[in-house]
DNA sequence: TTGTAGGCGTTATCAG
DNA sequence: CTGATAACGCCTACAA
């Protein structure tokens, strides 16, 4: 079933069929109609591999994220897909299960999945390593760059946002603020930045650090928040505020606090990070940091598409920073 | 940058390069090594469009869902991607925004996005219409079929599950049970089936229907659950149980009940549908129906791949039914 | 406004 | 085990 077949039925040549399906303007109305009829009649669909081969593009991009079942990444994926579709591109999603190996595979597989570029959310692969990989396709990285990165980056200011969140708790009267969500052994990446921002806030406001209030977790799930609170309680460490590194952690935290009989925000104020849709329906509704997902997605897709256009491959790397917002709800005192 | 270029550097022909990258076994070890070296050196990646053209496949499938930001569909997408990857396929996700037009577009665009088949979650397009569309690619539909469908279907027994959920509330002592989530004007689709199951349960247990307890919503979001409870309260309709058609609705319901001072499950027992991860961290943890997402995804992908293999295109349509489970938690009395 | 011819990068066929 | 050659289906100068 080729253009040739359609052409024969319509009584024209393949060239004309091509003109019709590609909306080339200078085709007689009547010819156009005959061709469309033939297409319908035969159930013809164009072979996109052939077109891709000829034109050298697929209009497909890849998006590598740690875990699609986490609301933040689902929202991000949705926003990326929307932005891409607005530019006539489709998106292949590749969850990496927060595994180093799967992240590497995702980067290497880009081309073999027909994608012309990739938006990459790193968790396990650090920038030095990333910058040494040879990927053979344009990349936009969603994280804070260090020094002169090899690829375009889109980021939010994790450290500043974390500081703003922590200071908001302090302004509400909290003095013993727990920070929940640093991964064991992590010294880099968003969680580490958020911890630094937390410490900044304490230092600037003259509050002593207490390492017992910095709770590491194995991941960023609700269960991690719940376990963190249990650990805090079990070791009898007093606390009157919690900065959860993600809203999912915060959801687990709120659950645990409720079960243990703490009043939020009176006994303990809680702030999250991500502004998931879910967070406004928690009880009490969660104060959180809105990272501006739509803006992140827009910048990422725009930059990737620019980079994909052949003439821009060598242009200087661009690092885009997206503004965050503090969303004030009922889980904190103001 | 073609195989030819690699071949010249490696001192072989393109044919040999092809054999190497495709793991054809009968290539001398030494030749193989030389070829890989050349590939590394040149940063060569195969042009998959060319291969697709030659072999007639892309190993890409599409997944059309209403909204990726809804946990159920994010979980489903994740499961479908995992299943597809296990079979060496990648997935293009197409959110249809619960819009009739976007659902149609998704179905028509399949091929033009390089996908060889599509898994389709209908919301707005009914089966008669779907069965008349000419799609030109294998389709697996995730919904209950009516009569003799044109395509393969994978379904859960919505009506039976809804009945089981409602009966569980009845067994817990609820008599005035609200059903929340039927779309305005919907007489078909999963919501309608769930309403029927709800009515079945009441009838079988000798409880009179009260249409005031059947609350329609515009969508299946948390906000819809919240508004439904407000509407119930405002019109002073007494109720002691709620069957929410999704866990997201239930989350909004629990929030509203908490705000209004109802005790769950003592004053009002609540049951949901979907078993989102979130639901076990709601306060109180939500009793719900687990539709078996992994099983659904596995059946969908398996059936689609079978259907894609040329010789199976004409085999009889298969309808797969996946079992549900009741997950009992603290939002209901037992 | 439509027809003709050639090539995009790969793999398959046939030799060797 | 490897080399040459011919498609795969489409697009685009160029020609008419």
Q: What is the pLDDT of residue B31?
A: 87
Residue whose pair of structure tokens reads 């960023």 in the numeric block = A220
B132 touches chain A (CB under 8 A): no
pTM: 0.94
Fold agreement between B3-44 and B158-290: no
Helix (H) or strand (E) holding A289: strand A288-290
Q: What is the pLDDT of residue B247?
A: 97
Could you identify the residue whose CA is nearest to the C1' atom of nucleotide D8?
A: B54
* Cα gap B254→B249, rounded to integer Å: 9
Q: Comparing A40-54, A197-211, B168-182, which segment has the lowest mean pLDDT?
A: A40-54
Closest CA to A71 of B295, B181, B277, B287: B277
Cβ contact B225:B249 at 8 Å: yes
Q: What is the pLDDT of residue B27?
A: 83
Instruction: Scan residues 39-68 of chain B and list those with Cβ within 7 Å of strand D.
Output: 50, 53-54
Q: Comparing A45-59, A291-305, B237-251, B259-273, which segment has the lowest mean pLDDT?
A: A45-59
Could you identify the residue whose CA is nearest to the C1' atom of nucleotide C7?
A: A54
Q: What is the pLDDT of residue A134?
A: 81
CATH number assigned to the domain with residue range B3-44, chosen from the 4 options 1.10.260.40, 3.30.1330.40, 1.10.3720.10, 1.10.3210.10: 1.10.260.40
Which of A22-31, B181-190, B272-281 is most confident? B272-281
Closest CA to A177 of A152, A146, A198, A147: A198
- Across the interface, which of A113, A134, A282 has its CB nearest the CB of B43? A134
Under the banding of pLDDT at 50, 70 and 90, the label for residue B311 is: low
Q: Can you tell me the mean pLDDT for A53-77? A: 93
Closest CA to A73 of A4, A121, A116: A121
Residue whose pair of structure tokens reads 């979650």 in the numeric block = B121
Quick: pLDDT tens for A130-164.
Answer: 998 888 889 999 999 988 899 999 999 999 999 99
Q: Which two tokens stand for residue A200?
A: 């900044």
Decide if B251 and A113 are in contact by the 8 Å CB cutoff: no
Q: Which two tokens stand for residue B131?
A: 């069965």
Distance B68 CA to C9 C1' (A): 36
Closest C1' nucleotide to B52's CA: C10
B255 touches chain A (CB under 8 A): yes
Domain A158-290 has CATH 2.40.30.10: no
A60 touches chain B (CB under 8 A): yes
Q: Is the CB of B12 under 7 A from strand D?
A: yes
Nucleotides of D under 7 A from a protein CB: 1-5, 7-13
Decide if B74 and A68 are in contact by the 8 Å CB cutoff: yes
Question: Which DSSP state fits B184?
Answer: T
Under the banding of pLDDT at 50, 70 and 90, the label for residue A310 is: low
Q: How far is A235 from chain B (nearest CA, A)?
A: 23
B43 touches chain A (CB under 8 A): yes
Q: Can you tell me the mean pLDDT for A8-27? A: 86
Q: What is the pLDDT of residue B150?
A: 92
**Domain definitions of chain B by residue range:** 3-44, 158-290
CA A314 to centroid of chain Cα atoms: 25
pLDDT of residue A314 exceeding 80: no
Percent of chain B with pLDDT over 70: 99
């Amino acid at each position: 079933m080729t253009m040739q077949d359609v052409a024969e039925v319509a009584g024209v040549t393949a060239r004309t069929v091509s003109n019709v399906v590609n909306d080339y303007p200078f085709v007689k109305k009547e010819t156009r109609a005959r061709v469309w009829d033939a297409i319908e009649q035969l159930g013809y669909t164009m072979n996109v591999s052939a077109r891709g081969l000829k034109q050298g593009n697929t209009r497909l991009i890849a998006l590598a994220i740690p875990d699609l079942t986490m609301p933040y990444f689902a929202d991000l994926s949705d926003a990326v897909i929307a932005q891409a579709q607005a530019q006539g591109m489709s998106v292949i999603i590749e969850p990496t299960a927060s595994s180093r190996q799967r992240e590497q595979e995702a980067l290497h597989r880009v081309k073999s999945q027909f994608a012309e570029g990739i938006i990459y959310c790193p968790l396990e692969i650090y920038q030095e390593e990333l910058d040494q990989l040879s990927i053979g396709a344009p990349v936009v990285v969603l994280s804070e760059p260090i020094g002169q990165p090899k690829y375009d980056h889109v980021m939010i200011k994790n450290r500043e946002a974390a500081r703003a969140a922590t200071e908001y708790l302090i302004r509400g009267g909290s003095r013993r603020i727990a920070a929940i969500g640093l991964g064991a052994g992590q010294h880099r990446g968003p969680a580490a930045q958020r911890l630094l921002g937390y410490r900044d806030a304490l230092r600037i406001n003259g509050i002593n650090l207490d390492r017992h209030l910095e709770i590491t977790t194995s991941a960023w799930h609700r269960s991690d928040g719940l376990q963190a609170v249990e650990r805090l309680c079990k070791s009898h460490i007093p606390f009157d505020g919690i900065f959860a590194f993600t809203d999912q952690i915060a959801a687990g935290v709120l659950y645990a606090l409720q079960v243990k009989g703490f009043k939020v925000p009176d006994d303990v104020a809680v702030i999250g990070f991500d502004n998931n849709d879910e967070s406004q329906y928690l009880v009490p509704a969660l104060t959180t940091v809105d990272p501006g997902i739509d803006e992140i997605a827009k910048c990422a897709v725009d930059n990737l598409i620019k980079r994909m256009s052949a003439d821009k491959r060598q242009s200087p790397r661009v690092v885009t920073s997206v503004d965050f917002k503090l969303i004030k709800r009922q889980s904190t005192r103001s």
